[in-house]
Amino acid sequence: MQTISPNEMAMDLLGIVGEDALTTQPEALAEVAVDGLTPMAVVSPSTEEQAAACLKYANQRGLKVAVRGGGTHTGLGNSIAGLDVVISTTRLNAITEYSPADLMIGVQAGVKLADIQAELEKNNQFLPVEVPGGRPGATIGGAIAINASGPLRLVYGPARDWLIGVKFALADGTLAKGGGKVVKNVAGFDMMKLFIGSLGTLGLIHHMNFKLMPLPPAFATLMMAFESSEVACQTALKLIDAGLFPSALTVLDSAAAKELGLPESSATLLVEVRNTTKAVERQINDISALGRTEGASAVESAGDRAAQKKLWQTVTDFGYGQRGSQDCALKVSALPSKSAEVIATSQRLADKYGLEVACTSQAGHGLTWVAAGYTEDSAAAQFIKELTSWAEKYGGSVAAERVSLSLKPHLEDVWGAALTPGEFKLMRSVKQKLDPNQTLNPGRFVGKI
């Protein structure tokens, strides 16, 4: 490994990206720190060739690199093992191709998701990708890097299901691609899927193609109050079994409902449907009837479309608002039939360790968000470890999606034991093959890869 001074490195990078795309000011560097580590420089390449050249240079010099989009999930993952350069996708921000007739869009990694949706809405289309806690700065590259999803995952799936083509730069500067512009454009190994959710540890994604959806003509949201989270979760699954086709189902415990400003209730079930106007009317009537049959004490509409969008955005962002001086957000994956038990177990363990928790469960597909406020890192760590142990016993997992820098050292791995030994061995081999010098985000991914 070569040693290099900050000044020499800055001059070298300057020759790659130009003066306007290099930052070495202390204040600017502090703003992009990762896990308390401040880089020596931030570069903002404007072309894929510049991005690849920056990576190649860092790789040859033994420098450690973090890729930054909107910076909304900088703290996600284990503590980074080293940081010398941040490569920002700020200037890779163009919509390169948009074909409304073909329901396809091509975008660079630094385009903000909100800007993509605004452009698509002009043609009554949308990209079914949600980023929890990501507004308004979340970029599409970041959404793919973390394989983001929100309540609409129930009907549309995660971000990975909408990506059909990707271009990326490897650590050694190699430019490559996977997929293409049409859904069936697949040949050989599916490199595209390998990069989705890899948290920037395998390469720098600089361009993506997505398939799109027509924007439904009608939307409606119901709020149903129940006596317990168990009944609310059971009702959510019965709505699916009854073939009522909800697009989103979220159960909130009393603390979460209060935090979101909803009517007081032991448990609240939020149901969204989107369809034609007549179909939505029919669905709402049938859902309301089933809810009352299951014991809903109140069934209310969430208001007009603007009110509904605001409500679902707060649900999507749940766990990312500051709850106190010390707080964390956990994503618990479990069987949908275990959703109520996840909430109950979280509440029980919170009482045991002196934490305050609020839970939202996307009961239709088994993801539950647990937001916890605490006073001692050691107590929070025990809470997370015991909840993780409980979830893994039933085939689930717990990922500490947002934790403080002081709490991370108390956790062996913020991702829990999400992988089997065989899966971990395979992932470590992939990392070694694509980034043998550990240039990209070292230590941040599962198992501190």
Structure confidence by residue, pLDDT tens digits, 392-433: 999 999 999 999 999 999 999 999 887 788 988 999 999 999
Model pLDDT, residue 181? 77
The residue type at 43: V
What CA–CA distance (Å, rounded) separates 343 from 330? 12
CA atoms lying within 13 Å on the CB side of residue 382: 13
What CA–CA distance (Å, rounded) separates 44 from 33? 15
Nearest to 74 by CA among 85, 66, 64: 66
What CA–CA distance (Å, rounded) separates 446 from 449? 6
Backbone torsions φ then ψ of 224, nearest 5 degrees:
-120, 130
Higher pLDDT, 2 or 294: 294
pTM of the model: 0.93
Model pLDDT, residue 179? 84
Q: Exposed/middle/buried for 383, CB within 10 Å: 0-12, 13-18, 19+?
A: buried
Is the pLDDT assigned to residue 347 strictly greater than 60? yes
Q: Of the given ranges (102-116, 171-185, 333-347, 422-436), which has the lowest mean pLDDT? A: 171-185
317: which 2 tokens?
């962002």
Question: How many Å is the maximal CA-CA distance in the chain?
Answer: 72
Give how far Cα 351 sits from Cα of 169, 332, 372, 374, Å.
Answer: 48, 18, 11, 11
Q: Tens digits of per-residue pLDDT, 127-161?
A: 999 999 887 899 999 999 999 999 999 999 999 89
CA atoms lying within 13 Å on the CB side of residue 159: 26
